Structure formats: C-alpha cells, structure tokens
Amino acid sequence: MIQIAILGLGTVGTGVAKVVAENASQIERKLGESLQLKTVLVRHFKDGPYRQLMTDDFSRIEEDDAVRVVVETIGGVEAAYEYTKRALNAGKHVVTANKQLVAEKGCELLALAKKRGVNYLFEASVGGGIPVLHPLTQCMAANRIDEIYGILNGTSNYILTRMVRSGAFFTDALREAQTRGYAEADPTADVDGIDAGRKICILADLAFGRQVDPAEVPMEGIRHLSLRDVRIAQRAGYRIKLLGRAVRLPGSGRTAYVAPHLIPEEHPLANVEDVFNAVVVRGNATGEVMFYGRGAGEMPTASACVADVMECLQASPRREEIGWEPDVQGFEDPRALRSRYYFRIEGSLTDAASAFGQVEVLSEDGETAFLTETLSGREAEERAGSLQVLSRMRVLG
C-alpha cells in the first residue's frame, strides 16, 4: 500500500481525496498496489469524512517514512514554500496545483528535488485538468518551442462570454460569476491578469528553459474593458479574449505578457467560451497544437494532481526533463513584438489617419474605432501619444 498526505483541504485538496477514493480500483491497476490517503494537514479541525486523518503539525508528515508523496494544495507562497522544501528535503515527492509558488520559486524547488532524487510535479498549476505541461516537455520534446499563447483563466473567459452573449456590463458579469462560484469574493488575481500571468510564466519557463520572473511580465486584465469595445469587435468579426502569451525572440531572447486581444472569429480560440481554457503551442516541427478543456474546478484540477502522484510513483527515479535554468537574462519588453492594434479614440477618422496613416475603420459614432497596420508596441504608443485614447488592444494573427 502506498500512502500520501495532502496539505490543505480546500477545493482542490478535497477533490484529490475524492479522486483517490472514488477511482481506487483504477489507480491500483495502474500502480500495482493501492493508494491511500494517510494524513491531511489543516489549520482548523472540522467534522467530516477526513476528520480522523487531520493534523495541524507538519512534522507528523515530514517524519513519517510511510508517506511517499505530499500533495500541496494550500496556495500562496509562504507556508506552501516552507512545507514543500521540508518535504523534498525529507525525500518525499511533492505534487502541487499552486501556480504562484511554481512561478516564483519553481526553479529553486526543482533544483532541490533533483538534489534529493525526488520529483516536484505541477501539471495542475496550468490549465487545471488540461494536460499541457506533460505534452510540452515530452510529446513535443523534439521541437523548438517558438510561442505559447492561450486563454488561461476561466473566470475572465466566463465574464467575456457573458458580455458577448447577453450584452452584460463587466460588473454584472463579474457578479454573476461570483454567484456561480467561478469567481472569488476578491477577484483581483483573475480579472487583473495575475492568475494568467503566473501560468504563462510557468509555460515560458518550460518551453524556453530559462526562468521568467513574474515581476518582469506585464499583466493587464479585463477590469476596464468596455462593453462598447466588445460590441464593435463582434460586429467586425472579432472576439475579445484575455490571452497569456510567451514568445521566443532571436538569439536567446524571450518575452511574455498578458492582455486582452481581438481574435478573428474563425480562429479556434474565438470559440472557447465560459470557464473553458485553451493553450496553443507552436513548435518548429509540429506547427500549432491546441489543448482545450476545463481549466479549473475541484475534480478536473484534482485529476491532474492525482495523475502527477501516480507519475511520481511510476517514474524511475525522477522526471529529468522537468526544469529550467535560473538565469533571468534575455527577457525583453513585449512592446518589441509587432502586430496590428485596435484603438478607440475620442476623435475623428482624420485624427486617426494623421497619427497612423492608413487604418481600417470599425466604427464612427462620436468616437472612432479602427485597426492599424502592423507595427511594434513601442511605435503604437508613440503614434497614439497625440490622441485621446479610450481603449487599445493587440490583434492576434
């Protein structure tokens, strides 16, 4: 019998416990022996099916040689970071869905895991139940990964879907998302692009083999997105989506950012709606490959965690292809990237043309909305300097 411990019993931790119990026979067939939850670390004891397994003393897990894998579902950095280091130093595999911890401390923790001859796996940290990190590091290992982009936050995508389908204002769509349990009481990380930013950092780390510091990555969310922009884009054959994007640049350069984009309606991402996520990986041999599914939720995320638990136990002795270098040199400002831009300005077509030359007009109704020719982000900012800009977004493609 293989025994594991869970740190935290919130949504994901509870889901992991359920998956281990409900899929016991299938897991046993794959592992060759049964998997049992032995201990659950909690801050506050409460009644329920796991009451007899609860402890508030991490040393009980740390010093228990029978516990081979620790599943960290606490979230945040401080306590999770400390417990993860202690578990790895104790020779235990660690599995996590903690995107903030992986984005900020993953390089260090992976190095520690390697030193101790164990695994630190985090498939559930990006895309919830969508398998993307494993295919990225194994199935696409023969490729040079040139770009990764996608819809990485289900809450924001749900809000944008409601704005398109029902014409809801942002505040109303957010309130609905909170009522349905898709958004937290404090939705900052979701609607301000922080959650997607942490995920694109992890994807960039794995794809490019170099640390991307989340503090260096511009993260723009959808909080200030106007329903007017949503309607203009829809009439013109576009959908607005919040994308995280990481791009390999010439030499050893790389960049990443999060921001709303106009996406042509024929692009597969344009039809990814509600709480679904999708990640596009562009390899130099495969071209573009898309991964799609539910990006969050108790059971999808727990499924990815338990799959990592099983991989830790099956791997011999550890996954060597998981990791990246700590060197943070070579990260460049994403404004160097070139694309078309959408602008809505307080002004006329003449004002737009005087700043940008030839433009594609999308709307003229007191305000002017238009698309520019392809140019860099820096050039777009400079040319728009004389205009009263109401909104600005990149156009994908």
Cβ burial of 27 (10 Å; 0-12, 13-18, 19+) is buried
Angle between helices 298-314 and 11-22 (to 10 degrees): 60
Q: First CA to last CA across the chain, in angstroms?
A: 52
Q: How far apart are CA 35 and CA 38, in angstroms?
A: 9
Cβ–Cβ under 8 Å, residues 209 and 111: no
- Residues 44, 50, 56, 62, CA torsion sign: negative
353's CB contacts (< 8 A; 6+ apart) are: 359
Positions marked catalytic:
199
